[in-house]
Amino acid sequence: MCRHYRLMAAIVYLVPTFANAQTPPHTMPDPRTEAAIELMTRFAERTGLTSGQPRQRYLWTDAFAVCNFLGLARTTGKAQYRQLALQLIDQVHHTLGRYLPDGPRSGWISGLDEQEGMAHPTLGGLRIGKELPERAPHEPFDEQLEWERDGQYFHYLTQWMHALDQATRATGQPRFNIWGRELAETAYDAFTYVPSGEVRNRMYWKMSIDLSRPLVPSMGQHDPLDGYITGIQLQTTASLLPGPVPGPYVGDQAEQFAAMIARDSLVTADPLGLGGLLVDAARVEQLMRNGAFPDGNLLESLLTAALAGLDHYARRQDSGLPAQYRLAFRELGLAIGLQALVSLRESIAAHPEPLPNDAALRRLLEALMQYAPLGSDIESFWRDPEQQQTATWSEHRNINEVMLATCLAPGGLFILDF
């Protein structure tokens, strides 16, 4: 794992030049934004961000929460929400970037001393935040129990990289993008490998906290895709920051992830995976406007896979099941993706210059739009207080409420404009 990137502990803050410069003047938020504020306020209090409650840091949930707070700051013009985003980033790094204080090891996962660890909090990766400790080397694998054990997930790391990059785009401060790129390099080094007798890289799905051994050796369906798009996003942001910005170049790693993508195997009927494909499509389109992707092939592949998956999901009719047989956060992931689809369609319509493969992209978008009302149905179902009385809601309250807030005010999740 590369350790030779060393920055000064005190990083100079640049004058914001990104989306926060476009923050609107203070106005009364609309009802959807007000509901999102209420959800995020409760989350911050309940998880120890703004209260004396015990800290409940969980990487996936917190990545969405950072984006939500950044989006609320931009929508309302209130700096307090941006400050909450930055406070949450700091708390995540000081909690999930370190070993549990009552465990056999202590300090930063990276092994750096206290000062260097604070300057480079992502160099060792970040724990998931599961309640149970990771499986020890001598313990047998239990597939069901593994879901409850700590470790590091690649797709959680890429979600956090995205949140860090959004923080740079919202504030103009390069340190967050630098931390994202350091995390990207660490994740590539730890999670990818070349099988014996082969030349192409593969990936592990879950690693130990110290990244020394795989806990789940299979490869996630969309992990290479996440690595590719996120790496390109991080490097694009770095290239557009004023002045020379230190930190690793991750474009080469992104290309290695691209070589691992099986584009004919992207189709999924899992609602969370489907939502991810649609959000990725919106990210790719925005990055294409900055010249990050020279052709429209990836965007076309994403939309084609999403269309096939949505057709299958709609025919399954999961939305007709009672709440106790459904997982809100997975369905809300799809609702968020369908909002990204609408945003993508509006963006393409607003730009007069056609994208590569423009005609095919427009046909796919029109076919996909038939499923847009499904997102509203999912949101309405889970906003109903009666549906929130079930155990499946309360057991996952933090992630459910944060992703519901994203549905209500999704602006912070999508790439902020330069």
CA distance 176 to 179: 5
Task: Name the band, by pLDDT with cuts 50, 70 and 90, for residue 319.
Answer: confident
Give me the mean pLDDT over the 144-165 stretch.
97
Tell me what the mean pLDDT of segment 174-190 comes to: 98
Q: What is the mean pLDDT of residues 285-300?
A: 90
Answer yes or no: do 130 and 275 share one domain. Answer: no
- Whether residue 393 is contained in a domain is answered as yes
Rounded mean pLDDT, 7-33: 48
Whole-number pLDDT of residue 290: 86
Same domain flag for 152 and 235:
yes
Q: What is the C-alpha to C-alpha distance for residues 147 and 170, in angstroms, rounded to an integer?
A: 34
pLDDT of 186 strictly over 60: yes
pLDDT for 38 beyond 50: yes
Residue 2 inside a domain? The answer is no
Q: For residue 121, what are its two tokens?
A: 């909090």
Q: Is residue 268 pLDDT above 80, yes or no? A: yes
* 135, 169: one domain: yes
247 shares a domain with 346: no
Are 227 and 294 in a shared domain?
no
**Same structural domain for residues 237 and 140?**
yes
Total domains, the chain? 2
Q: Is the pLDDT of residue 274 over 50?
A: yes
In a domain, 308, yes or no: yes
215 and 189 share one domain: yes
Q: In this predicted structure, what is the pLDDT of residue 373?
A: 96
Residue 243 or 390, more confident:
390
* Residue 207, in any domain of the structure: yes
* pLDDT for 380: 97
Single pTM value for the model:
0.92
**Residues 274 and 133 placed together within one structural domain of the fold:** no
Per-residue confidence band for 26, with pLDDT thresholds at 50, 70 and 90: low
Cα–Cα distance, 390 to 245 (Å, whole number) = 49
Q: Supply the range of the domain harboring residue 324.
A: 262-418
Evaluate whether residue 49 is within a structural domain.
yes
On the question of pLDDT at 165 being above 60, the answer is: yes
Q: Are residues 338 and 254 in the same domain?
A: no
Band (pLDDT 50/70/90 cuts) for residue 295 is confident
Both 62 and 198 in one domain: the answer is yes
Residue range 15-27: average pLDDT? Answer: 42
Question: What token pair was written down for 342?
Answer: 């609408």
Q: Does a structural domain hold residue 349?
A: yes
Among 241, 261, 281, the domain boundary falls at: 261
Residue 4 lies in a domain: no
Residue 9 forms part of a structural domain: no
What is the Cα–Cα distance from 38 to 239, expressed in whole angstroms? Answer: 37
261, 283, 303 — which closes off a domain?
261
| Residue from 6, 58, 13, 9 nearest 182 by CA | 6
**Amino acid at position 408, single letter:** L
Examine the domain organization and report whether 220 and 197 are in the same domain. Answer: yes
Handedness of CA 392, 397, 399, 404 (dihedral sign): positive
Q: Which residue has the tokens 């189709």?
A: 267
Last residue within a domain, chosen from 242, 261, 280: 261
pLDDT of residue 108: 98
* pLDDT tens digits for range 64-81: 999 999 999 999 999 999
Give the residues across from 207 on adjacent strands.
152, 214
Largest pairwise CA distance in the chain = 62
Task: List pLDDT tens digits, range 383-393.
Answer: 999 999 999 99
- Would you state the pLDDT for residue 18? 39
Judge whether residue 9 has pLDDT over 80. Answer: no
Q: Do both 32 and 107 map to the same domain?
A: yes
pLDDT of residue 154: 98
Residue 368: predicted pLDDT: 98
Burial label for 324, CB within 10 Å (0-12, 13-18, 19+), is exposed
118, two tokens: 């604070």
> Both tokens of residue 405?
């807030």
Quick check: 104 pLDDT over 90? no
Q: Do 404 and 42 touch, CB atoms closer than 8 A?
A: no
- What letter represents residue 218's amino acid? S
Sheet containing 214-216, strands listed edge to edge, beginning at the edge strand earlier in sequence: 152-153, 206-207, 214-216
Among 123, 122, 121, 147, residue whose Cα is nearest residue 134: 147
Report the pLDDT value the prediction gives residue 168, as an integer from 0 to 100. Answer: 97
* Residue 375 in this model has a pLDDT that exceeds 90: yes
pLDDT score of 3: 33
pLDDT of residue 320: 83
C-alpha closest to that of 58 among 329, 375, 392 = 329
